[in-house]
Structure 1
């Protein structure tokens, strides 16, 4: 049965892939993104392939913007059946330069060098808000459509960082841990009104946000990228298409008794002790 699916951050690489895959299943897709051009590009690709999609501008940190997006979705496709909270990201002002603090770091005057003590509160707040508040607000707006209706669900995007934080990125790690916790809270809270809530925890996928951290301009791995591959039993980065199968399952009636879970899609990273 075709459903109306709202996807935030859907102009990005990972969520655009999910949008296209869900459209191929016959669902009507509302492609939400902060940038209208990015949203329209994905929607046009879906429509050009015979699917149904609209591009909608929405700021996941502004409830009024999300309410306007909801009105647009309603006028085109009706109430939201499935929400995928895909908007998120990191900020360099919430990132340390080194994985471990050394005494000599406290006197390092290199431009741009940051220890934990130099982290910018605005950068940390931006990262936390984008990932956590940017999941909470769309849920407040669109889950209202789902209350008391059958076959409705929410899919959040967590991260490997939520299980065990990566070095250098405390703000992002903490924010994604909050998303996982919120997923469980929502699953319990909505359990009596027919809304399932689950999350994906992607492993390491090359995106425009992390490409320069994980690969050199030559295409070779950076030391951080090599460490990740060494810790991933399947020995590669994820491809966007690797998220499709789990997404289709969690959004389908085949997962009708599944709620409150955070599913790693990580090539075995979370299962490997390193030994």
Structure 2
């Protein structure tokens, strides 16, 4: 029995492709032989990454779009299909937290910024639902494919300060299971949906919460490492193996699953 981890001849869209974790996702797709659409709002970064991949012999294109704007996503879908003829997979990597979605310990619990929390929640759920509606339609036309959502440890445990982010990722977990079932009911084993739940990785959105400008960890950063059996933050490249497996035919009997890549954070009781 052969197990195929290759993404050769597959065209994959990565939302949030201009971010830190998104950069690892893009790298993983290309290294596995796939063509990649690097979708994000930062045109300069998307184009720079695509140009570097193409120069090295890979296949990539920049897709400048906001995941909360359907018209921009549809334009990106058309551009992707025109370039590669098909879409075989989607990585919903866009999301993260925002400063106005953070409640500090000294702030009044009953006067928190509800609009900020709502905005953080929406980007982390609707920022995956909307791209799935747009790019998923193209995957259905291809006839076979895989969609991977990016969840978080925040969906499973009560992580302080970031209520909106927590709620968005918890909703994403529900969506991941519900949509996987609906895809199976309609398309059998041809279109799958799964999720990766990273532990603590340093990104542009959380760096200020976990590290100090002068160097070293904040108290929150130290607590996160203390609760992680591996006693370190993850490196973005450590997400690639799980991602390629879920996008490839090697996971063809897997749907609705959540793969934790967290250094043991999700299983550690703290004792």
TM class, shorter-length: over 0.9
Q: How does 1:79-228 map to 2 (within 5 A)?
A: 79-98=86-105, 114-147=107-140, 149-191=142-184, 192-193=186-187, 194-228=190-224
Higher relative contact order (CA 8 A, sep 6+): 2
> 4+ residue runs of structure 1 moved beyond 6 angstroms?
none
Question: Conserved in 1, the CA contact under 8 Å of 2:87 and 2:142?
Answer: no
CA distance 1:233–1:74, shift in 2 (3 Å) = same
**Which segments of 5 or more consecutive residues in structure 2 lack a partner in the other structure?**
1-7
1:15 aligns with 2:19: no
Instruction: Report Cα offsets for 1:95-137 as digits up to 9, x if no partner.
Output: 2111xxxxxxxxxxxxxx6322222232122112211111011
Q: How does 1:52-91 map to 2 (within 5 A)?
A: 52-91=59-98
**Which segments of 5 or more consecutive residues in structure 1 lack a partner in the other structure?**
99-112
Based on CA coordinates, which of the two structures has the bigger radius of gyration? Answer: 1
Q: Secondary structure at 1:123's aligned position in 2?
A: helix
1:6 aligns with 2:2: no
| TM-score normalized with structure 1 length | 0.91
CA RMSD of aligned residues (A): 1.3
Question: Conserved in 2, the CA contact under 8 Å of 1:205 and 1:240?
Answer: yes
Q: Secondary structure at 1:200's aligned position in 2?
A: strand
Distance (whole Å) between structure 2 residues aligned to residue 147 and residue 260 of structure 1: 17
Aligned length: 261
Distance (whole Å) between structure 1 residues aligned to residue 28 and residue 159 of structure 2: 30
Q: Which moved more, 1:179-188 or 1:141-150?
A: 141-150
Query: Could you tell me how far 1:148 is from its partner in structure 2?
Result: 6.4
| TM-score normalized with structure 2 length | 0.93
